């Protein structure tokens, strides 16, 4: 991770220098203009910067007239350790161009235009594309798919865009975000494209896929991974139920629901579901309907052990992810476009997943159970 941060820091500074030279010359690289005739690029000078993640090698661009004086890394400055976290954080926090401008001014003491800020932040897009295409593992025991919504402006109109996060647990019990997909409409066709993308990147099998009632996802799973078991997300199931319930009854209703998903087996769970439905049906007739109609994708949950159920029920990882993404949304109420949203989500993901160093508790025990339940697939 330290090497990744060092690479990210070096690439970021390099791209900022290139953008600053574009601003100084008045034209972009390979562009033929009148300005290009009076002054032009003239190679690079290597420079080693000191940072808290180690030495970072960069190339300072030069101009023919020797007029270019970098402001991001001044001529005699070599120690950048005090500003590197701010450079990375201003992307990861989903800041607006105005806020980034203020941040750079705070760090360097000079102003930059909104156009220059946009150029700088766009430099990270190839890195995101490479991350989105990176190879994946062949088998994932558990995969979660969840959506989180943000306000995005397109063509002058502000609307809600969904970001679909694909979170996986690999054979070693380690968590990883293996996909981020922005802004498509839910349908079997869309979900099939997502699952085919995972297949094209090397995934051959998924044992259990947990998701909410996403439109068309069940058919897509059957088409792309016919042996995968689709498990309706219990947390979302509970939330979808309690949204029909008044505040004064929520605690009691939630306690009753817990009797369902903590039942020792499917029959006991089904009997508890009928009892809860009968108890609350008159007062909240719509609340328990989804339990009955979706029992076929809820019931697989009961055949798993307590240790595996805990991973699937609590979904602490996906909830923690969503909480971090929502913090981005607080600092920026409206994103100026899909690319801006994607950049912020990607960099937030890099920051969050860098802390995922531990495997799940009791993973060897859980893996042994999965090897028996899904014989020959692990």
Residue 53: C-alpha distances to residues 3, 10, 89 (Å) = 8, 11, 15
At which of 113, 129, 145 does a domain end?
Answer: 129
Q: Are residues 31 and 179 in the same domain?
A: no
Which of 197, 119, 178, 151 has its CA nearest to residue 337?
A: 151
Residue 14: predicted pLDDT: 81
How many other β-carbons are positioned within 10 Å of the β-carbon of residue 52?
14
Q: Residue 373 burial by CB count (10 A; 0-12/13-18/19+): exposed, middle or buried?
A: middle
Q: Is residue 169 part of a domain?
A: yes
Pair 168, 356: CB distance under 8 Å: no
Q: Are residues 248 and 365 in the same domain?
A: no
Q: Is residue 321 part of a domain?
A: no
Q: Residue 350's domain is classified under what CATH number?
A: 3.30.420
Q: Return d(Cα 233, Cα 298) in angstroms, integer.
A: 8
Domain that holds residue 221: 137-229+333-377
Q: Are residues 100 and 55 in the same domain?
A: yes
Residue 295: predicted pLDDT: 92
At which of 287, 314, 341 does a domain end?
Answer: 314
At which of 84, 99, 129 does a domain end?
Answer: 129
Query: Residue 360: pLDDT above 80?
Result: yes
Q: Are residues 359 and 221 in the same domain?
A: yes
Mean pLDDT is highest, among 5-9, 45-49, 139-143, for 139-143
Percent of the chain whose pLDDT exceeds 70: 79
Residue 83: predicted pLDDT: 54
In tens, the pLDDT along 149-208 reads 888 888 888 888 888 999 999 999 999 999 999 876 677 888 999 999 999 999 999 999
Q: Are residues 38 and 114 in the same domain?
A: yes
Q: Is residue 320 part of a domain?
A: no
In tens, the pLDDT along 326-354 reads 876 676 778 878 888 888 888 888 878 88
Q: Is residue 27 part of a domain?
A: yes
Tokens read off for 52: 């808290």
Work out the average pLDDT over 218-245.
Answer: 90
Q: Are residues 147 and 204 in the same domain?
A: yes
Q: Are residues 110 and 150 in the same domain?
A: no
Q: Is residue 319 part of a domain?
A: no
Work out the average pLDDT over 287-316.
Answer: 84
Which of 100, 92, 105 has its CA nearest to residue 117?
A: 100
Pair 352, 324: CB distance under 8 Å: yes
Q: Are residues 23 and 118 in the same domain?
A: yes
For the chain, the first-to-last Cα distance in angstroms comes to 28
Q: Are residues 171 and 309 in the same domain?
A: no
Pick the residue with more confidence: 211 or 52?
Answer: 211
pTM for this predicted structure: 0.71
Work out the average pLDDT over 256-276.
Answer: 93
Q: Is residue 296 part of a domain?
A: yes
Work out the average pLDDT over 243-252.
Answer: 93
Crossing angle of helices 338-353 and 316-331, in 10° steps, is 130
Residue 112: predicted pLDDT: 54
Q: Is residue 172 part of a domain?
A: yes
Length, in residues, of the chain: 378
pLDDT-derived band at 375, boundaries 50, 70, 90: very high
Pair 62, 45: CB distance under 8 Å: yes
In tens, the pLDDT along 69-118 reads 887 677 766 655 555 556 556 655 666 667 777 766 665 555 555 565 56
pLDDT-derived band at 52, boundaries 50, 70, 90: low
Residue 40: predicted pLDDT: 80
Q: Are residues 175 and 276 in the same domain?
A: no
Number of domains comprising the chain: 3
Q: Are residues 210 and 348 in the same domain?
A: yes
Q: Are residues 265 and 117 in the same domain?
A: no
Least confident of 19-23, 53-57, 157-161, 301-305: 53-57
């Amino acid at each position: 991770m330290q090497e990744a941060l060092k690479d990210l820091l070096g690439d970021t500074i390099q791209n900022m220098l290139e953008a600053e030279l574009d601003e100084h010359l008045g034209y972009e690289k390979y562009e033929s203009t009148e300005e290009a005739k009076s002054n032009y690029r003239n190679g690079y000078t290597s420079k080693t910067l000191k940072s808290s993640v180690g030495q970072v090698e960069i190339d300072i661009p030069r101009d023919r007239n020797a007029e270019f004086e970098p402001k991001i890394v001044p001529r005699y400055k070599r120690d950048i350790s005090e500003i590197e976290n701010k450079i990375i954080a201003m992307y990861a926090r989903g800041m607006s161009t105005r806020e980034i401008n203020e941040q750079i001014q705070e760090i360097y003491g000079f102003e930059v235009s909104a156009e220059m800020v946009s150029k700088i932040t766009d430099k990270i897009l190839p890195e995101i594309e490479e991350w989105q295409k990176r190879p994946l593992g062949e088998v994932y025991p558990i995969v979660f798919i969840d959506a989180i919504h943000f306000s995005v402006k397109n063509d002058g109109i502000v609307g809600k865009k969904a970001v679909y996060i694909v979170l996986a647990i690999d054979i070693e019990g380690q968590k990883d975000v293996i996909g981020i997909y922005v802004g498509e409409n839910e349908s079997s066709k869309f979900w099939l494209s997502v699952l085919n993308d995972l297949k094209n990147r090397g995934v051959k099998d998924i044992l259990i896929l947990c998701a909410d009632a996403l439109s068309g996802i069940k058919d897509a799973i059957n088409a792309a991974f016919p042996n995968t078991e689709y498990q309706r997300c219990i947390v979302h199931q509970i939330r979808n139920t309690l949204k029909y319930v008044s505040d004064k009854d929520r605690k009691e209703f939630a306690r009753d629901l817990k009797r369902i998903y903590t039942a020792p087996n499917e029959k006991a769970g089904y009997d508890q579901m009928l009892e809860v439905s009968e108890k609350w049906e008159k007062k909240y007739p719509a609340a328990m309907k989804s339990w009955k109609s979706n029992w076929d994708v809820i019931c697989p949950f009961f055949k798993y052990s307590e240790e595996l159920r805990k991973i699937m029920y609590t979904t602490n990882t996906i909830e923690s992810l969503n909480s971090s993404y929502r913090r981005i949304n607080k600092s920026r109420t409206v994103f100026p476009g899909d690319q801006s949203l994607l950049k912020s989500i990607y960099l937030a993901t890099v920051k969050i997943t860098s802390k995922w160093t531990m495997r799940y508790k009791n993973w060897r025990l859980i893996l042994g159970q999965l090897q028996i339940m899904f014989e020959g697939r692990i």
